[in-house]
């Protein structure tokens, strides 16, 4: 009798264990914001990125806090003249993999998925480095190094409908405030942010966008809206933008050499060469803007294709 009762108890426990819901699928994804600040004799560009690390979340009240990172790249320059005095400065940003938790929660009123920063504003000491010099009557009177903190831009918080497995979008802003070192008053600030977060497993890379792929008659295991092409696009344009930055650094080096020549022999100032190099810098700035716009357009197109593939996947028998 005792053995029978024990067996029944074990079966009941096993049934309860089998009936328990599996753990919720984790979220993963990224967000990026491109900032461009322009003013009189001033230009600053920065790309700020956030990514989940893939690690499991922890709980903070009603929110799941996912481990993530924040990174920044970019740089800028300034040239300002007042009377006989000229200030020139150049700088770069290089901040990588600073811990930046990302928060995911569900709004109680309507079940909407909310994704936002799970941390206070971050800053990185010496994340902005460069040089600045002051000239009076064409002669250098001071030459110093720049070492400043890099500040995190506001994480592009977003939301999606209840039970949605995918949160993505883009937004353009023109905020007012100081976002670059030595930013002059009245500067124009342009910000473009993109984000893409997915819950659960992703489709195999390329499957959603490959029109020649073999279509199985079986019900697809995954019908996700994440475009597997977005990562490839991000990598491609990150490389092209890096090449643009490298060319700009080379030209700036040549320009600095000419300026040094002018310091030692003012009468032999190679002004045509200086003007040509400055023109090349302007062309590279235009190219960078075009690359960013082209990247954003391709990301949007890839996501539309993925959304169509998702709809066809859900209609499949």
How confident is the model over 170-184, as a mean pLDDT?
92
pLDDT the model gives residue 12: 40
103 and 248 housed in the same domain: no
Residue at 189 is within a domain: yes
Taking the chain, what is the end-to-end CA distance rounded to the nearest angstrom? 51
Residues 33, 174, single domain; the answer is yes
Tell me, yes or no, whether 46 and 177 share the same domain: yes
Q: 139 and 211: one domain?
A: no
| 246 & 111 share domain | no
Does 284 lie in the same domain as 179? no
Let me know if residue 14 belongs to a domain.
Answer: no
For residue 175, pLDDT over 70 is answered with yes
Last residue of a domain, one of 200, 228, 244: 200
* pLDDT band, residue 24 (cuts 50/70/90): low
More confident residue, 227 or 176: 176
Q: What is the mean pLDDT of the chain?
A: 79
9 domain residue, yes or no: no
Q: What is the pLDDT of residue 52?
A: 95
* 120 has a pLDDT exceeding 90: yes
* 27: confidence class by pLDDT, cuts 50, 70, 90: very high
- Give Dmax over CA atoms of the chain in angstroms: 111
Specify the range with the lowest mean pLDDT, choosing from 90-104, 170-184, 281-295.
281-295
- Alpha-carbon gap, residue 178 to 187, rounded angstroms: 9
82, 117: one domain: yes
Which has the closest alpha carbon to 25: 196, 168, 222, 198? 198
User: pLDDT above 90 covers what percent of the chain?
Assistant: 42
7 within some domain? no
Q: Tell me the backbone φ, ψ of residue 85, rounded to 5 degrees.
A: -105, 135
* Angle (nearest 5°) at CA 16 between 13 and 21: 145
- Report the Cα 31 to chain-centroid distance in Å: 5
What pLDDT sits at residue 73? 94
Give the total number of structural domains in the chain. 2
Both 170 and 47 in one domain: the answer is yes
Helix axes 229-264, 271-315, angle to 10 degrees: 170
| 62 and 187 both lie in a single domain | yes
Report, as an integer, the average pLDDT of 76-103: 92
Asked whether residue 13 is assigned to any structural domain, the reply reads: no
Which of 154, 172, 200 terminates a domain? The answer is 200
Query: What strands, in cross-sheet order, belong to the sheet with 123-136?
Result: 139-151, 123-136, 85-99, 68-82, 42-52, 27-39, 188-199, 166-173
Find which of 1-10, 226-235, 299-308 is predicted with most confidence, using mean pLDDT.
299-308
What are the pLDDT digits (tens) for 156-167? 999 888 888 999
Host domain of residue 267:
204-317
Identify the weakest region by mean pLDDT among 1-10, 80-89, 94-103. Answer: 1-10
Same domain (yes/no): 274, 148: no
Tokens of 205: 């890379």
Question: What's the average model confidence in pLDDT over 291-311?
Answer: 75
Residue 10 lies in a domain: no
Buried b (16+ CB within 10 A) or exposed e, 110-119: eebbbbbbbb
What's the CA gap between 58 and 113, in Å, rounded? 17
What is the rounded CA–CA span in Å between residue 108 and residue 103? 15
Q: What is the pTM of this model?
A: 0.59
CA–CA separation, 60 and 105 (whole Å): 10
Q: Which of 117, 121, 114, 124 is nearest to 101 (CA)?
A: 117
- Contact (CB, 8 A) for 198 and 165: yes
User: In angstroms, rounded to a whole number, what is the distance separating the alpha carbons of residues 256 and 262?
Assistant: 10
Among 200, 232, 253, residue at a domain's last position: 200
Q: What is the rounded distance in angstroms from the CA atom of residue 315 to the CA atom of residue 256?
A: 62
Question: CB within 8 A of 124, min separation 6: which ones?
Answer: 72, 95, 98, 149, 150
Model pLDDT, residue 200? 80
Tallying the residues shown for the chain, one arrives at: 317
Q: Is 183 in the same domain as 66?
A: yes
Q: Is the pLDDT higher at 205 or at 84?
A: 84
Of the two residues 193 and 266, the one the predictor is more confident about is: 193
Mean pLDDT of 10-15: 41
pLDDT above 60 for 22: no
So what's the pLDDT on residue 219?
35
Q: Residue 267 gets which letter from DSSP? A: G
Same domain? 83 vs 180: yes
């Amino acid at each position: 009798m005792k053995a029978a009762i024990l067996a029944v108890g074990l079966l009941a426990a096993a049934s309860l264990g089998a009936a328990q819901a599996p753990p919720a699928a984790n979220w993963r994804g990224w967000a990026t914001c491109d900032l461009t600040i322009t003013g009189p004799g001033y230009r600053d560009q920065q790309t700020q990125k956030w990514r989940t690390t893939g690690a499991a979340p922890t709980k903070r009240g009603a929110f799941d806090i996912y481990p993530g990172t924040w990174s920044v790249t970019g740089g800028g320059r300034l040239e300002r003249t007042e009377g006989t005095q000229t200030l020139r400065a150049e700088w770069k940003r290089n901040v990588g993999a600073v811990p930046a938790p990302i928060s995911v929660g569900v709004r109680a009123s309507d079940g909407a998925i909310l994704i936002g920063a799970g941390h206070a504003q971050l800053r990185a000491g010496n994340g902005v480095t460069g040089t600045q010099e002051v000239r009076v009557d064409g002669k250098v009177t001071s030459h110093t190094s720049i070492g400043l903190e890099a500040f995190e831009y506001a994480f592009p918080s977003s939301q999606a409908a209840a039970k949605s497995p995918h949160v993505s979008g883009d937004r353009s802003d023109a905020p007012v405030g100081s976002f670059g070192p030595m930013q002059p008053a009245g500067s124009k600030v342009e910000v473009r942010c993109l984000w893409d977060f997915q819950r659960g497993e992703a489709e195999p890379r390329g499957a959603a966008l490959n029109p020649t792929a073999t279509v199985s008659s079986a019900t697809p295991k995954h019908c996700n809206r994440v475009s597997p092409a977005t990562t490839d696009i991000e990598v491609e344009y990150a490389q092209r933008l890096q090449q643009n930055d490298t060319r700009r650094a080379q030209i700036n080096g040549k320009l600095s050499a000419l300026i040094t020549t002018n310091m030692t022999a003012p009468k032999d100032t190679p002004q045509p060469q200086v003007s040509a190099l400055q023109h090349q810098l302007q062309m590279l700035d235009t190219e960078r803007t075009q690359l960013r716009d082209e990247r954003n357009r391709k990301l949007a197109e890839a996501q539309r294709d993925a959304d169509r593939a998702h709809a066809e996947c859900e209609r499949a028998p």
